[in-house]
């Protein structure tokens, strides 16, 4: 699973020449909609009549919004016709297979392997690298090195 997700992300970055989740969504005709959602809801992906939407809680900070967009983009790419339940604060660390895949997608998208090369032979920890690229500390273990 992890290898497949990493390959999908690598192909996507190579094809579109960006790892920006908002730019990728735009190029893939996925509308990103900021929405004033309940504070416990970070976002969700919706597929309706061949239209794809990513809803992101407009109250999140920029870093978390970017991670949520990356996660929901993972659903759009990996599970494109499945409407995902709300990504909630307390279910963010779900053990559900599609949620793990979407989180892995987000980590691989925000921290591609070539970005890691920048930190080789430095004293920077993987947690500092994760933070610098907008990845919550608890998700860096999903990075396939």
Sequence ranges of the domains in the chain: 2-139
Q: Are 104 and 73 in contact (CB under 8 A)?
A: no
20-35 pLDDT, tens digit per residue, is: 999 999 999 999 999 9
- pLDDT tens-digit readout, 39-65: 889 999 999 999 999 999 999 999 999
Residues 6+ apart with CB under 8 A from 47: 53, 76, 80, 81, 82, 83
Cα dihedral 112/90/44/1 (nearest 10): 40
CATH of 2-139, one of 1.10.1060.10, 3.40.309.10, 3.40.390.30, 1.10.10.2910: 1.10.10.2910
pTM: 0.90
């Amino acid at each position: 699973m992890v290898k497949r997700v990493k390959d999908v992300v690598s192909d996507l970055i190579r094809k579109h020449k960006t790892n920006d989740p908002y730019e990728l969504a735009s190029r893939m005709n996925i509308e990103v909609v900021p929405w004033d959602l309940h504070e416990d809801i970070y976002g969700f992906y919706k597929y309706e009549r061949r239209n794809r939407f990513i809803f992101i809680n407009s109250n999140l900070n920029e870093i978390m919004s970017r991670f949520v967009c990356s996660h929901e983009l993972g659903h759009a790419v990996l599970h494109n016709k499945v409407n995902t339940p709300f990504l909630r604060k307390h279910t963010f660390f779900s053990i559900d297979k599609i949620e793990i895949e979407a989180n892995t997608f987000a980590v691989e998208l925000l921290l591609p392997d070539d970005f890691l090369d920048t930190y080789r032979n430095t004293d920077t920890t993987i947690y500092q690298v994760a933070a610098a690229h907008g990845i919550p500390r608890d998700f860096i273990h999903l990075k396939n090195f």
